[in-house]
Amino acid sequence: MVDHSSPPRPPLSTASLIARLAGIGAVVAVVAGAFAYVNGTLDPQRLRPKTLVNALETNSGVHPGFRRNHAKGVCVAGYFESSAEARAYSRAQVFSEARTPVIGRFALPSGNPYAPDSSVPIRSFAVQFSQANGQQWRTGMNSMPVFPVGTPEAFYQMLKAGAPDPATGKPNPANMPAFFAAHPETAAFLAWVKTAKPSASYATESYNGINAFYLVNAEGKRQAVRWGVVPQRQDAAGDVAPSGSDFLEKDLVQRLTAGPLRWQLNMTLANPGDPVDDASKAWSGEHKVLNAGMLVLQGSQPQADGDCRDINFDPLILPSGIEASSDPLLAARSAAYASSYLRRAGEVSPLHSAPQESTP
């Protein structure tokens, strides 16, 4: 078959053979070693997506099929009606089209899907805007104005401070105060939380995107913003949460039966000097605020089989015309959400059949 004659090959001396084999071994070892460093095997101290999600599971338990954080929630659907105000700042289609369909999800900020609604004063609202051109904008908003910490490392330390002590099954009560004392950046959040009370309704809350982003217009000009939604209906002052642990979803369903619920989407434009990379710091003083349009919710679905169930509200899924800021929490949220999503996506069936309210 072959007339290919190999060039004469003088045999290798034993020393030369060993040296050459060692050379091959060294090349393979260097490449494999570099790979093991990059994938974290040789760098165990690195904060990885799974480290964060494991910490969430440690604190709240593993509840198959549920999100590892903000586990208890309800799906909603409706549309966004744009105003003209944001168009000069962003070329995103969501601001130029009259209407964009949305799927959303209200939730409690805990990894426990059975947490009582009154257990925390925070509620969250995640929204997916589906543009006609196929691009999407996803955002996860919370009712607090700032995040407790500004970095993923500090967030991980906070999760560890809230971890149950193996001996007692409860977090050591001294840990969280010690964490706050060691992290002065938590002051703005702590000042807010002191006055915050668990609301009786998802519908009466404002929700803040907290992290900064850039709006980018057709000329490529970038404007740093923080966004949030403000409810168009406020209940009478003094309305407090009823007793019981599952009143939020019932209240929402009831209100939506009576008619659509509306939130105005506000874009707060950064002033020069406002921090765009630190979600723990408020933007103080006078700011120009754009009314970008109205978010209208028309219906709800239980999360076990609702349209929001399989959506990962990754804050870095953005349309052309909205860009991430240098806030380090954004990449961390995106990476950790992906890890949580992978875990629960393979477990959807258990969620579907899980009793949602009968388990303590």
Where do contacts with another protein occur on this chain (CB under 8 A)?
Answer: 1-4, 6-7, 9, 12, 17, 20-21, 23-24, 27-28, 31-32, 34-35, 38-40, 46-49, 51-52, 133-136, 152, 309-312, 314, 316-318, 320, 323-324, 326, 328, 330-332, 334-336, 341-342, 344-346, 348-349
Round to whole Å and give the CA distance between 301 and 277: 35
In this complex, which beta carbon is closest to another protein, that of residue 6 or of residue 353? 6
Question: Which runs of E-coded beta strand occur in 305-344?
Answer: 322-324
Q: Are 314 and 138 in contact (CB under 8 A)?
A: yes
Minimum separation from the CB atom of position 302 to another protein (A): 16
Contacts of 138 (CB under 8 A, 6+ apart): 126, 127, 128, 129, 311, 312, 313, 314, 315, 317, 318
Minimum separation from the CB atom of position 221 to another protein (A): 15
Minimum separation from the CB atom of position 112 to another protein (A): 21
Closest CA to 120 of 89, 80, 88, 148: 148
Minimum separation from the CB atom of position 346 to another protein (A): 3
Q: Are 111 and 71 in contact (CB under 8 A)?
A: yes
Residue 287 designated active-site: no
List the catalytic residue out of 70, 183, 287, 352.
70
Residue 156, annotated as binding a ligand: no
CA-CA-CA-CA dihedral for 103, 109, 113, 114, to nearest 10? -130
- Tokens 């668990």 correspond to what residue? 198
Q: Which two tokens stand for residue 55?
A: 């910490």
In this complex, which beta carbon is closest to another protein, that of residue 46 or of residue 288? 46
- Tell me the binding residues for heme: 337
- Tell me the binding residues: 337
Q: Give the catalytic positions in this structure.
A: 70
